[in-house]
Protein backbone atom coordinates (compact mmCIF):
# COMPACT_ATOMS: atom_id res chain seq x y z
CA UNK A 1 0.00 0.00 0.00
CA UNK A 2 1.25 3.41 -0.85
CA UNK A 3 1.12 6.23 1.68
CA UNK A 4 0.95 8.87 -1.02
CA UNK A 5 -2.29 10.78 -1.64
CA UNK A 6 -4.48 9.11 -4.25
CA UNK A 7 -5.62 10.88 -7.33
CA UNK A 8 -9.28 11.89 -7.44
CA UNK A 9 -11.78 10.25 -9.76
CA UNK A 10 -12.86 11.97 -12.94
CA UNK A 11 -16.05 13.26 -11.24
CA UNK A 12 -14.05 15.06 -8.47
CA UNK A 13 -15.09 12.76 -5.64
CA UNK A 14 -12.47 11.93 -3.03
CA UNK A 15 -11.04 8.44 -2.93
CA UNK A 16 -12.94 6.42 -0.28
CA UNK A 17 -9.86 4.39 0.73
CA UNK A 18 -9.20 4.55 4.46
CA UNK A 19 -5.74 5.59 5.59
CA UNK A 20 -3.72 2.64 6.93
CA UNK A 21 -3.29 3.99 10.47
CA UNK A 22 -5.35 6.36 12.55
CA UNK A 23 -3.58 9.02 14.58
CA UNK A 24 -4.66 9.35 18.20
CA UNK A 25 -5.73 12.89 18.98
CA UNK A 26 -4.20 14.61 21.98
CA UNK A 27 -5.75 17.64 23.61
CA UNK A 28 -4.04 20.28 25.72
CA UNK A 29 -5.53 21.21 29.08
CA UNK A 30 -6.20 24.74 27.75
CA UNK A 31 -8.18 23.33 24.81
CA UNK A 32 -10.19 21.05 27.10
CA UNK A 33 -10.96 23.95 29.45
CA UNK A 34 -11.99 26.19 26.54
CA UNK A 35 -14.35 23.56 25.11
CA UNK A 36 -15.85 22.82 28.53
CA UNK A 37 -16.45 26.54 29.10
CA UNK A 38 -18.08 26.90 25.67
CA UNK A 39 -20.37 23.92 26.31
CA UNK A 40 -21.24 25.17 29.80
CA UNK A 41 -22.20 28.58 28.37
CA UNK A 42 -24.31 27.08 25.57
CA UNK A 43 -27.99 27.79 26.29
CA UNK A 44 -29.75 27.46 22.93
CA UNK A 45 -31.18 24.07 21.89
CA UNK A 46 -28.68 22.21 19.70
CA UNK A 47 -25.83 24.58 20.51
CA UNK A 48 -23.89 21.96 22.50
CA UNK A 49 -24.24 19.44 19.69
CA UNK A 50 -23.04 22.05 17.19
CA UNK A 51 -19.90 22.62 19.25
CA UNK A 52 -19.25 18.87 19.44
CA UNK A 53 -19.73 18.45 15.68
CA UNK A 54 -17.56 21.48 14.87
CA UNK A 55 -14.74 20.16 17.05
CA UNK A 56 -15.22 16.50 16.09
CA UNK A 57 -15.76 15.40 19.70
CA UNK A 58 -18.05 12.89 21.37
CA UNK A 59 -20.19 13.58 24.41
CA UNK A 60 -18.48 10.76 26.33
CA UNK A 61 -15.18 12.61 26.01
CA UNK A 62 -16.77 15.77 27.43
CA UNK A 63 -18.12 13.75 30.37
CA UNK A 64 -14.64 12.38 31.04
CA UNK A 65 -13.13 15.88 30.89
CA UNK A 66 -15.75 17.15 33.35
CA UNK A 67 -14.88 14.36 35.78
CA UNK A 68 -11.19 15.15 35.47
CA UNK A 69 -11.84 18.85 36.05
CA UNK A 70 -13.97 18.09 39.12
CA UNK A 71 -11.26 15.84 40.56
CA UNK A 72 -8.32 18.16 40.19
CA UNK A 73 -8.76 21.16 37.94
CA UNK A 74 -6.28 21.97 35.18
CA UNK A 75 -3.68 19.46 36.41
CA UNK A 76 -6.09 16.57 35.90
CA UNK A 77 -7.05 17.84 32.45
CA UNK A 78 -3.42 17.54 31.29
CA UNK A 79 -2.61 14.56 29.11
CA UNK A 80 -2.27 11.33 31.06
CA UNK A 81 0.55 8.92 30.35
CA UNK A 82 -0.82 5.76 28.77
CA UNK A 83 0.19 2.20 29.43
CA UNK A 84 0.76 0.16 32.54
CA UNK A 85 1.62 2.13 35.64
CA UNK A 86 5.14 1.45 36.85
CA UNK A 87 5.74 1.27 40.57
CA UNK A 88 8.32 3.82 41.72
CA UNK A 89 10.69 1.11 42.97
CA UNK A 90 10.18 -1.21 39.99
CA UNK A 91 13.35 -0.11 38.17
CA UNK A 92 15.47 -0.53 41.29
CA UNK A 93 13.90 -3.92 41.98
CA UNK A 94 14.57 -5.10 38.42
CA UNK A 95 18.18 -3.91 38.65
CA UNK A 96 18.69 -5.70 41.97
CA UNK A 97 17.21 -8.91 40.55
CA UNK A 98 19.58 -8.76 37.58
CA UNK A 99 22.55 -8.16 39.88
CA UNK A 100 21.44 -11.00 42.16
CA UNK A 101 21.24 -13.39 39.20
CA UNK A 102 24.67 -12.27 37.94
CA UNK A 103 26.22 -12.85 41.37
CA UNK A 104 24.51 -16.23 41.66
CA UNK A 105 26.07 -17.36 38.35
CA UNK A 106 29.45 -16.08 39.51
CA UNK A 107 29.12 -18.04 42.78
CA UNK A 108 28.24 -21.24 40.88
CA UNK A 109 31.39 -20.83 38.77
CA UNK A 110 33.52 -20.23 41.88
CA UNK A 111 32.07 -23.31 43.59
CA UNK A 112 32.79 -25.36 40.47
CA UNK A 113 36.42 -24.17 40.44
CA UNK A 114 36.79 -25.06 44.14
CA UNK A 115 35.34 -28.52 43.51
CA UNK A 116 37.77 -29.08 40.63
CA UNK A 117 40.69 -27.94 42.81
CA UNK A 118 39.68 -30.44 45.50
CA UNK A 119 39.54 -33.27 42.97
CA UNK A 120 42.91 -32.32 41.50
CA UNK A 121 44.48 -32.25 44.96
CA UNK A 122 43.00 -35.69 45.70
CA UNK A 123 44.37 -37.06 42.43
CA UNK A 124 47.82 -35.66 43.16
CA UNK A 125 47.68 -37.09 46.66
CA UNK A 126 47.81 -33.80 48.48
CA UNK A 127 46.09 -33.66 51.84
CA UNK A 128 43.70 -30.75 52.26
CA UNK A 129 44.78 -30.13 55.83
CA UNK A 130 48.51 -30.16 55.01
CA UNK A 131 50.17 -26.76 54.66
CA UNK A 132 51.86 -26.02 51.35
CA UNK A 133 55.46 -27.24 51.33
CA UNK A 134 56.67 -24.83 48.70
Whether the predicted pLDDT of 99 surpasses 60:
yes
Q: Where are the domains of the chain?
A: 29-77, 87-134
**Residue 132: band (very low, low, confident or very high) from pLDDT cuts 50, 70, 90:** low
Averaged pLDDT for residues 41-63: 90
Q: What is the pLDDT of residues 9-50, one digit of tens each?
A: 556 777 777 667 777 788 888 888 899 999 999 888 899 899
Averaged pLDDT for residues 85-94: 81
Averaged pLDDT for residues 75-98: 77
Query: What whole-number distance in Å separates Cα of residue 132 and Cα of residue 134?
Result: 6
Q: Distances from the Cα of 123 to the Cαs of 89, 116, 132, in angstroms?
A: 51, 11, 16
Amino acid sequence: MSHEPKEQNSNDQPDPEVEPRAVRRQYTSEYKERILDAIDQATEPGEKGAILRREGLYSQLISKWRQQRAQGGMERLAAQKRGPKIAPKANELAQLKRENERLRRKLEKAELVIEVQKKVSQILGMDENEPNSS
